Amino acid sequence: MAKRTQKHKDVAVGTPLGEDVLLLTRMSATEQLGRPFEYELELVSERLDIKASEIVGKNVTVRLNLLSGEVRYFNGFVSRFLQTPSSGDEAQYQATVVPWLWFLTRTADCRIFQEMTVPDIIKQVFSDYGFTDFFDDKGLSGKYRTWPYCVQYRETGFNFVSRLMEQEGIYYFFTHENGKHTLNLADSASAHEAYPGYEEIKYRPYKAEEDKEVISRWTTETRLQPGSYALNDFDFENTQKDLQTRSKIDRDHELSTFEIFDYPGEYTETGDGENYARMRIEELHSQYEVATALSDARGISTGCTFTLKECTRQDQNKKYLIVSADYKIDAGSYESGAEGGEAAYSCSFTAIDVQQPFRSLSITSKPSIRGPQTAFVVGPSGEEIYTDQYGRVKVQFHWDRRASGDENSSCWIRVAQLWAGKKWGAMYIPRVGQEVIVEFLEGDPDQPIITGRVYNAQAKPPYDPKTDKTISTIKSNSSKGGGGFNEIRLEDKKDKEQIFIHAQKDHDVRVENDLKEWVGNERHLIVKQDQIEQVDGDKHLTVAGDQNEKIDGTISIEAGSDIQKKAGMNYGFEAGSNIHIKGGMNVIIEAGMQLSIKAGSSFVDLGPAGVSISGTLVNINSGGAAGSGAGSSPDAPKTPEEADQAEPGETAEPPIARQYSPQAVTLQSSAVSGTPFCEQCEKAKKKKAKKK
C-alpha cells in the first residue's frame, strides 16, 4: 500500500516527529481577543507507539491553503496528547495545541515590581520566561501610569499579566507563521488590520454553488448596558482631594442611564481614575452590540478587521473587528487515492463595530491576602532607622525570593500608631531588623500597612517572660550603635509594685500649670553634680521632723529683704575661724536671762544681777581697737536651664463629604457634552432664538 501523505491536502500538520508521521484529519479551533487560543487536533499515524514525551511541549504548525493560493498557518505548542482506541493498522491520536502564553499557567510566584508601567511589567515577565522574541507591543498607543508598587502574589504568571492587562484596557491577539506565533499587544483599533485578501466579505444568506468565501449567516445582538461607570479612591497624602471620576456612554434607548460605582479604584491621580472609568465602561459596551456570523472565508482571523458588503440591512454594511472565532476543518479521507482534495472548512465568529473600542472583560481575580503576615524592616546598609516624613518604613517579606534586603525591597509602608492626630499622637518607628506584622487594605497585596511588632528567637523581649511575667515596659535602644536605653518599666508583682524610669542622658519635664507629688514613705534624691533650682514666686517648706543638711563647701544665702529664723529651743552656730555680724544701722542682741561674750579668758556677762566684766586688763575709753570682719559676700546662684518644650498639635478636619446626586451628575454631564436635559428649557431657548 502506498504511503499516505498530506502533501496535496488543503490542510496538514507539521510536527517534530517528521513529515507525515502524524496526519491531520480534523481540527477544531477557538480564538478570542485577549484570551489564549486552543486548537484540538485529531490525528492518525501508522506508528502505534508514539510516546507523549516525543511531542508534548513541542511546537507544531497546521497549514491551511487559501483559495488565492496563499497559505495560512496555525502555530502553537502541544499541551496535551493522547492515544484514542484504534483499529487496524493505524493509531488514532488527539492533541491540544496552545500558545506559548499558556505556559505561564504552569508557573506561580510571589514577586514585587516597583516604579514600572504595566506594559513594562508584562514585557519583564515574558522575558524572564524566555519569550522575549515572541511578543510585539507596537500596537500600544496609550499612555500608561507608573505603578510605584505592584505585587504578583501566589498566582500564576498568566493570571498576573492577564489581570494587569484587563485593568489597563490592554488585550492581545496572535499572528502565525510556519514554526512560530507572535502575541500582539493592543489597546485600540489602530492595532488591527484586515487579513490580506479579506478586506471585504460579502453577505450571501442564500449561498449559491459559485459563492465562495462569503458570510452566509449574520445576526446582531444588542444587550442593555449601564450608561456610566464611576470610581473613587483615597490619597493619604492629600486627604481633601476629590478623586471621584465618572465615564459615560450615551445610547438612544430607554433605561440607558444606570450607573455602576466601585471603590477603591486603585489610583491617586484624577487623570488615572478618569482613564480607568473609561476603560470599565468601554469594557461593558464592547458587549453592547455584537454580531454573530457564519462563513467559509478562510481569512477570518481573530484580531483582524473586515468590511461587510451587500447586507440586506444597510446599517450593517460597515467595518468590523473580529473578536472571536471558532473553526471546524475536516481534512477528508486518507484512503488510497484520496490524498488530495479540498478540506471542509467553516467558521463561526463574533465581531463588533470597529468604532467601538474593545476591552477584555475583567474576569481575572486579583489575589486577596486574607490575614496578617510578618516581615522584617530593612534599610540602607549602616542605617538603624530608615523612614520618611510620614514615619513609613520598608520591609522584606518572607516570600520575596528576589529581595535585596535594603531600601529597595518594598514600597514605603505606613505604620499604625496608638494615636495619630494632627501633629500629636504616638510615634514608634519600627527599626531595621525588627519583625513587624503587615496587613493589607482590602486584602490588596499592593496596599500593605504595618499594624504591629513581634519578638522572635533572635530579638527577644527585654525581660524574660517566664521569670519577669509581672513586668510591663517600654524600653528603647540608643541609636546608632546601642549601648544605652530609655525605659519606663512597671512591676506589678504583689508587694513589690514599682514604676521605674531610666533616661540614658537627659530627662526634661515641663508642666504648664501645677505639679503635685505625694510620697507615702521616703523620698530619696541623688544628684551626682549640681542641683540648680529657680522659683519665680515663693518657696514654702514644712518639715514635721528634723531637717538635717551637710554642706561640704560654702553656704551662700542672700535675701532681698529679711531673713527670719526662729528656734523653739536652742539656736547654735559655730565657725572654725571667724563670725562676722554687721548691721547697716543697728545690731541688737537680746537675752531673757543671760548674755555672755567671751574671748579667751576675758568675758562680759550680763544678767538680772548686773553686768560683770572680767579681763587681764579692762580699758574703758582708752587703749585697744575694734576688730573688723570680712563682711558678707554670698555667691550668686547659677541660673537653671529650661526643660525642653514641644509645640501643641492641631485639630484635623475629616475629608469633605461629597454627596452623590444623580441630578447633579446629569447636569455636569450635560454641561460637558452639550446634551439638552430639559425639554421645556430647550423649547423656550428655541423660541427665544426665533424672536431674535
In this structure, the answer to whether residues 432 and 473 fall within a common structural domain is no
Which of 677, 667, 236 lies closest to 414 in space, CA to CA? 236
433 and 402 both lie in a single domain: yes
Is 28 within the bounds of a domain?
A: yes
Dihedral angle, C-alpha 673, 678, 679, 680, nearest 10 °: -140
Residue 2 lies in a domain: no
Beta bridge partners of 650: 422
CATH code of the domain containing 390: 2.40.50.230
Q: Which residues pair with 375 in a beta bridge?
A: 397, 436
Residue 623 lies in a domain: no
Do the beta carbons of residue 52 and residue 81 sit within 8 Å?
yes
Record the pTM.
0.85
- In terms of C-beta density within 10 A (0-12 exposed, 13-18 middle, 19 or more buried), how is residue 437 classed? middle
428: its cell numbers = 514608634
d(CA 667, CA 677): 7
Give 654-679 pLDDT, tens digit per residue. 777 776 666 665 565 555 445 565 65
Q: Final residue of a domain: which of 98, 114, 137?
A: 98
Give the model's pLDDT for residue 501.
96
Q: What is the pLDDT of residue 661?
A: 66
Question: What Cα–Cα distance (Å) separates residue 162 from each residue in 132, 360, 377, 687?
Answer: 17, 10, 31, 55
Residues 469 and 450 in one domain: no
CA 663 to chain centre: 35
306 occurs within a structural domain: no
Residues 433 and 470 in one domain: no
Question: Within the chain, which residues score under 50 in pLDDT?
Answer: 672-673
Domain co-membership, 74 together with 32: yes
Same domain, 403 and 473: no
End residue of a domain, out of 457, 484, 505: 457
pLDDT of residue 336: 53
Burial 277-300 (b: 16+ CB within 10 A, else e): bbbbbbbbbbbbebbebebbbbbb
Number of structural domains (the chain) is 3
Q: Are residues 406 and 436 in the same domain?
A: yes
Residue 83 lies in a domain: yes
* Domain region containing 93: 11-98
Same domain, 62 and 91: yes
CA 184: distance to chain centroid? 30
Regarding whether 449 and 435 lie in a shared domain, the answer is: yes
Together in a domain, 29 and 42? yes
Same domain, 62 and 85: yes
| Residue showing cell 440586506 | 312
The reply to whether 285 falls in a domain is no
Which residues, at least 6 apart from 425, have a Cβ–Cβ distance to it below 8 Å?
417, 418, 419, 649
Residue ending a domain, choose from 98, 132, 148:
98
What whole-number distance in Å separates Cα of residue 680 and Cα of residue 266? 41
- Would you say residue 600 lies in a domain? no
How do 146-147 and 59-65 pair as beta strands? unpaired
Domain co-membership, 465 together with 453 = no
CATH assignment at residue 90: 2.30.110.50
Decide if 393 is inside a domain.
yes
